[in-house]
Chain A
Amino acid sequence: MPRSQTSGRELAILFEALYLANLLIAPVMAFLILLVLYFQNKNHSSPLARSHLSQTFYTSLLGGFLVFLVVGVLFLFGGFDSPYIWMWVVLYFTIIHSTLVLFGALGLAKAMSNQCWRYPIIGAKLPKGC
């Protein structure tokens, strides 16, 4: 296997792992590392690495936006004392968060298999060469 392809695969796995870490065990901190890596590698020679980087970076941004904006709006207009608002918040958060985690799990499996993958619906466009 050529060296550039190997490093591309390793980077792709690292990006997916950071994306998942941001969602699961180290929120914000893992994203900040991903942010640094994004600026370091956005022009990387491997399309595999670039594709996983763009998927994880933009989906992290969009995912955070989807989670916090909608939850914020629900609380803003519904207040904290309504059981129905709490129901929608918990259900919404659980669905969105677990969907984002599942995307990451499938993305990680694709990265491990040396394959590009576009996250369904919210994923960024794949780079050329994928």
Chain B
Amino acid sequence: MKYTSQMVAKPYFIAAIGLFVGQILFGIIMGLQYVIGDFLFPEIPFNVARMVHTNLLIVWLLFGFMGASYYLVPEEAETELHSPILAKLMFWIFLIAGAATILGYLLVPYATLAEITMNDLLPTMGREFLEQPTITKIGIVIVALAFLFNIGMTILKGRKTVINLVLLIGLVGLAVFFLFAFYNPDNIVLDKMFWWFVVHLWVEGVWELILGSLLAFVLIKTTGVDREVIEKWLYVIIAMALITGLIGTGHHFFWIGTPGYWQWWGSIFSAMEPIPFFMMTVFAFNMVNKRRREHPNQPAVLWALGTGVMAFLGAGVWGFLHTLSPVNYYTHGTQITAAHGHMAFYGAYVMIVLAIISYAMPMLNGRKAANSAKSQIVEMWSFWLMTISMVFITLFLTGAGILQVYLQRMSDNPLPFMVVQDKIELFYWLREGAGVVFLIGLIVYIASFFIGKDEAEPNEA
């Protein structure tokens, strides 16, 4: 590790993995509630489990992005982090606020949580993914601003590279678009429209910049390919991500009461959204094919390659599957959306965070470049367990979604929602099984940090 201040990344990575475990546990609980409706009721109602599952995902990915930035930026800028103390302070504030929010969801009825956190002063609660109490949202903004200040000052005083500038643009975008979470108009059409400014413009906009810069960083480090080559790819990828992703927001405006032209804008631009993900796949494999070194950390390379492939499948293919307006008319809000959401989040964001953790953790633990061979084998097992089970989760949800669309929305005699849910129960059981395998994969992943700790690392070829 070149700069001692990079060490602040470690607690962020550990917290990210811990919250990841929580997210998957609640996913398993919720998956079981799909088939055993009163499982853990009334202790953990379905709507609460869902809220915890999705909120934990967002929070742990944010921890991952922050940790990744604290690791990457000093190295790219060739200088120590502006303020490691601020980074540590923000870590504890974010962790305590995040944990308190999750406990609030679990221990207090949501309406009471809104009341005790004085939501009525500035009402922002009650919307999917943005369920956090207003006070938590304000905390997120403070943490984000302090984080941006720290990262921005480090870049300002150090070397400016394409990677750290693209990362900074992505992080600024992340903070700016979150501000729409505070805008909560009475008009429900406007409400939904600006709600997507947070949700869509995060995951199909600025987060892709963060993804691209992290992927480029890992590939530079593990392949030894010239920075100039990787930077050119990065430019084109982020340009395509923004061109398609920004106006592609229109695919969420099809049925919320916005003007009809969004049917065209949304369909055309979001149909092009797989392009940057396709390019990422070609980019990652091209760089690895042209590598000038055999990096001893093989799992990091595997996660980086996996990111390209799985992001293309999950975000690209499964997104395109239901993005055209005439198709989306039948599919919106079905299990097809859930299938897309699972694989896209895993492929694009979970895998890139795990890639950078895999790359950085050995150094953060005092090693030269990689974990022991035994640890690497275990980690690669976890890669395959999690990735293959996620493929099956996606396929089972897609199967359920197709049947749901047909039986509930297309047939001559459409069936009621709950009748259809009964008919697709088998798929929910299969999805639950795949989810358990995913959890096993995650446990194996965590075990890889503790296996072969005292053994030497493989040599670089």
- Chain A residues proximal to chain B, CB less than 8 Å: 83-84, 86-87, 90-91, 94-95, 98, 101-102, 105-106, 108-110, 112-113, 115
Contacts and interface: CB of A to CB of B under 8 A. Distances in A.
B289 A87 contact: no
Given A101-B278, A105-B282, A109-B282, 18 more contacts: A83-B402, A83-B403, A83-B411, A86-B402, A86-B406, A90-B402, A91-B395, A91-B402, A94-B318, A102-B281, A105-B285, A106-B281, A109-B281, A109-B286, A110-B285, A112-B282, A112-B286, A113-B290
B320 to A, nearest CB: 10
B399 A102 contact: no
Contacts of A105: 278, 281-282, 285, 312
Contacts of B356: none
B274 to A, nearest CB: 9
A109 B317 contact: no
B340 to A, nearest CB: 11
B316 to A, nearest CB: 9
Main secondary structure of the interface of A (DSSP, over half): helix
B304 to A, nearest CB: 13
Contacts of B285: 105-106, 109-110
B132 to A, nearest CB: 35
B321 interface: yes
Contacts of A95: 395
Nearest to A84: B403
Contacts of B399: 87, 91
12 contacts: A83-B402, A86-B402, A87-B402, A87-B403, A87-B406, A90-B398, A91-B399, A94-B317, A95-B395, A98-B317, A102-B313, A115-B289
Contacts of B407: 83
B406 A83 contact: yes
A56 B361 CA distance: 40
B230 interface: no
B282 A108 contact: yes
A23 to B, nearest CB: 11
Contacts of A102: 281, 309, 312-313
Contacts of B403: 83-84, 87
Contacts of A83: 402-403, 406-407, 411
A18 B117 CA distance: 59
A89 B286 CA distance: 33
Interface string B399-428: 100110011000100000000000000000
A81 B317 CA distance: 26
Tell which of B313, B318, B402 has the most Cβ of chain A within 10 Å: B402
Contacts of B290: 113
Contacts of A106: 281, 285
B271 to A, nearest CB: 10
Nearest to B275: A24
Nearest to B336: A90
Contacts of A113: 286, 289-290
